Structure 1
Amino acid sequence: MNTNSAPAKKPPARPRERVIMGLQAMDFIQHGTEASLEIVTPLGQHLNFKSNFIGFDDQQHIFFTMPRLTKKDYEEFFMEGFNVDIEGISEQGEGALIRFRTRIAHVVLRPIQVLVFPVPQQAKLVLLRNEVRYELRLPGDIQLSNRKLGVILTDVSSGGCGFSYDAISPEFDVGQKIVLEVVNKANGDTYALSGGVKNGRTKRGKQTYGMIFDEPGKANCRRLLSTLIYDGTKYVFKNPKKDTGPGGS
């Protein structure tokens, strides 16, 4: 036996990060999306908070909502020139985290409260998904302790899915086990997408979550995907076949 044989080569790893430049980075964050911000002072102090992305202008400015913090926090951290690390979720393509560093250009208090930053020279995209994601809008339910929560299944891949709902509560914890049930009203088939919550955020007034399937959830997801068809904008359930035999219309 040849003990010196070389191991089989694995296929090259798929790149999970890439760098994008300037204003192009802003195209990867939808307006109204919640992001995580961290102010870093020259003395190394850190302040973390959530803020919503408002947009950008042609003068290389980007705008975020002002968070609700203490007066002391504002006095210590909201100074022009302080560095800010920003992380948001990109919904484009296969989904990614977008990260970049900028600095505080202006703290606007009147007539509205807005944080203004220069557009970063570059940003980093970190791929979140290895599987193809299918965009859809299917109603579903999550069984809570005392009731069912109606949600919308917004996207699905072989390994997980995204869902959203309008209610302020309940909120799910990262790692929490849930089962999202989708019913095909045409034939009554039920697909129980089980797994754990991976992330959550507020987006345009909605609670938006991502989850990772467990093995039963993956099996039911494969069943679900086999029943969907693309209608030109999103994936929907296939229409049942009509009777085209004698006497059929």
Structure 2
Amino acid sequence: MPSTAVKVNTASRLQRNLSLMQAGSVVTIDIATPAGQKGKFRTTFVGYLPKKYVLLQYPETSKIGKFSHFITQGMGVTVRGIIEHEGAVVAFVSSIKQTLQLPSKMIVLEFPKTLSMQCLRKSIRIEIELNAKVRIEKKFWQSLITDISISGCQLLIENGDEILLVQDKAIDLALDSGELNNLKLSGQICSMKSLANAISLGVQFNESSKNAVIKLLHHVVTLED
């Protein structure tokens, strides 16, 4: 995946970009245990005090399982989220300062020294596997989204040879995956490739789908393992 990350390491720029993250927004934390086990968990960004600390909601105990033993002082974590109105993925590495039980269970992180931002509008592609139903010329197929960017996606459709003959390149997608169920996108087919027992389609999203695409990218970036 091409990298368009820009590291922010001056105090004022770091604080300014961190301030773009909205309290209550969904982020993920990546944790690696001393034994090399890796976990990725959704949680909520609460806020920060400049040069002091960052506050995160403690992940749901039912999902974090045995990793709860490693959410202790000094443990390194990577935090990722999306700044929606900027159309950017933000990430930083920190370590746990302490955990709090009151007023609610939270993780206190050391204030990061650097922060990276990747502009989704630069069309970085994120690999993913999401089921979607597609409509082309009033016919429907089940498909798999194999990668996605702010501008388009790649689809895999089994036994879809007749798609190679379509004249109308318009395509509609409806997500068929959990909390994204029935999220709708539209676009134009810009490439077709015949594979063994499948067709690969390159799709360019319409401008009208921009908000839905950002919502989908937010889900993808903060997806738990």
TM-score by length of 1: 0.48
Summarize the Cα distance change of 1:194–1:19 in structure 2 as closer, same or farther, 3 Å threshold.
same
Question: Which of 179, 187, 190 matches 1:213?
Answer: 187
Q: 1:47 aligns with which of 39, 44, 57?
A: 39
Partner of 2:76: 83
Describe the SS at the equivalent of 1:115: strand
What is the rounded CA distance, in whole Å, between the counterparts of 1:128 and 1:210 in structure 2?
Answer: 19
AA aligned to 1:213 is G
Greater alpha carbon shift after TM alignment, 32-41 vs 17-26: 17-26
Deviations 1:57-112 (CA, angstroms, capped at 9, x unpaired): 2452111111112585255221110000111112243x121111111111111331
Match of 1:246 in 2: none
| Count, aligned residues | 154
Among 23, 33, 51, the alignment partner of 2:25 is 33
Partner SS, residue 109 of structure 2:
strand
Q: Secondary structure at the match of 2:15?
A: helix
Q: Distance in 2 between matches of 1:63 and 1:92?
A: 22
Q: Quote the Cα distance in structure 2 between the aligned partners of 1:42 and 1:28.
A: 33
**8 A Cα contact 2:29 2:78, kept in partner:** yes
Residue aligning to 1:194: 172
**What is the root-mean-square deviation of aligned Cα atoms in Å?**
4.3
**In 1, distance between residues paired with 2:23 and 2:90?**
14
Unaligned runs of 5+ in 2: 124-149, 158-169, 191-202, 210-225
Map 1:6-21 onto structure 2 (within 5 A). Answer: 16-21=4-9
Q: 1:102 and 1:54 mapped to 2: Cα distance?
A: 15
Q: By how many angstroms is 1:116 displaced?
A: 0.8
Q: 1:17 to 1:72 in 2, by over 3 A?
A: closer
Q: 1:119 to 1:193 in 2, by over 3 A?
A: farther
Give the secondary-structure state (helix, strand or coil) at the position aligned to 1:76: helix
CA distance in 2, matches of 1:125, 1:201: 26
Separation in 1 of the partners of 2:16 and 2:119?
A: 17
Distance 1:176 1:196 in 2: 14
Give the conservation status (yes or no) of the 8 Å contact 2:39–2:67: no
| Residues 34 and 201 in structure 1, CA contact (< 8 A), matched pair in contact too | no
Unpaired runs of 5+ in structure 1?
A: 1-13, 132-157, 161-173, 178-191, 226-249
In structure 1, C-alpha distance between the alignment counterparts of 2:185 and 2:89, rounded to whole Å = 16
Q: Taking structure 1 as reference, are residues 215 and 117 closer, same or farther at Cα in structure 2, changes over 3 Å only? A: same
Separation (CA, whole Å) in 2 of partners of 1:58 and 1:210 = 39
Offset at residue 20 of structure 1 (A): 1.2
Matched, 1:130 2:122: yes
Instruction: Please name the residue that 2:55 is paired with.
Output: 63
Deviation of residue 15 (structure 1)?
7.8
Cα pair 1:32 1:53 within 8 Å, conserved: yes
Q: TM-score under structure 2 normalisation?
A: 0.53
Compared with structure 1, are the counterparts of its residues 175 and 88 closer, same or farther at alpha carbon in structure 2 (3 Å cutoff)? farther
Shift of 1:113: 0.6
Distance of 2:178 and 2:8 partners within structure 1 = 25
Could you report, residue by residue, the CA deviation over 1:105-140 in whole angstroms, capped at 9, with x for unpaired residues?
Answer: 111113311111012111111121238xxxxxxxxx
1:215 is paired with a residue of what secondary structure?
Answer: strand
Cα distance in 1 between the residues matched to 2:185 and 2:110: 34
Distance (whole Å) between structure 1 residues aligned to residue 96 and residue 76 of structure 2: 7
SS in 2 for 1:43: coil
